[in-house]
Amino acid sequence: MGVVEVLDPVAPVRADGWKVDVSRGERNGRVSSEWFNRPDDERYLSLDDLWANVKGRSERSRSRVVQTADIRAEAARDNPERLHLMLPKAQEPVAPTHWAFGQLASIVGAPASYLRQLPAPLAGINLQYGLTNHRAEQVKTFETEDGRTELRAVTGPDYGRIHDHELVDAVQR
């Protein structure tokens, strides 16, 4: 058996920040195109603005561990084309994001792309069948409150989350 020595990383301290050599690399118009195509509330002129927004979202978020068999899928009564999920002990339904819906469909072995093409009531029936008849397992939900409760992710119960504001912090440093 070998000996392993773990060293603490020593990062050089740069008081003047990092310099960018604009003569290297290439121009990529897609970056500005992506920025201009975002809704107004997703455009940030500075890292400070981005940090403030994602920090606020993080503060309005919560995670919980639930059993898949206890999740209820239903079409919204006020909008039958919108699918909502009821989580155990929740006061109101959550609206899954595109990403979270795909994660949930994957857990029950249903093709998310097919379910997205179905009317919400039919997709809800199929998803509910998978949730109740698939082997029950624990999942961790990640929900954000911003006028409505949005289900942003469905992961394994031991999933460790790194919030966006922590990444922005690292970039700013």
**Which class for 112: exposed (0-12), middle (13-18), buried (19 or more C-beta within 10 A)?**
middle
Q: Which domain holds residue 45?
A: 33-172
User: How many domains is the chain built from?
Assistant: 1
Please tell me the distance from the alpha carbon of residue 41 to that of residue 111, in angstroms, as a whole number. Answer: 31
Element (H, E) at 100: helix 98-107
Residue at 88 is within a domain: yes
Residue at 15 is within a domain: no
Residue at 76 is within a domain: yes
Which tens digit of pLDDT belongs to each residue from 55-91? 998 999 999 999 999 999 988 767 767 888 999 988 8
Residue at 150 is within a domain: yes
At residue 15, the pLDDT reads 62
For the record, the structure tokens of 28 come out as 């990529």
Please tell me the distance from the alpha carbon of residue 105 to that of residue 108, in angstroms, as a whole number. Answer: 5
Which tens digit of pLDDT belongs to each residue from 97-117? 999 999 999 999 999 999 999
**Which class for 96: exposed (0-12), middle (13-18), buried (19 or more C-beta within 10 A)?**
buried
Residue at 165 is within a domain: yes
CB contact set of 126 (below 8 Å; sequence gap of 6+): 110, 115, 118
Which tens digit of pLDDT belongs to each residue from 129-162? 999 988 889 999 999 998 888 999 999 999 888 8
Q: In the chain, what is the greatest distance between 2 CA atoms, to the nearest angstrom? A: 65
Q: Is the C-alpha dihedral spanning 140, 57, 82, 110 positive or negative?
A: negative
Residue at 86 is within a domain: yes
Residue at 19 is within a domain: no
One-letter-per-residue 3-state SS of 52-85: HHHHHHHHCEEEEEEEHHHCEEEECCCCCCCEEE
Residue at 25 is within a domain: no
The C-alpha angle 27, 31, 35, rounded to 5 degrees, equals: 145
**Residue labelled with tokens 């195109």:** 33
For the record, the structure tokens of 46 come out as 């500075």
Global pTM value: 0.72
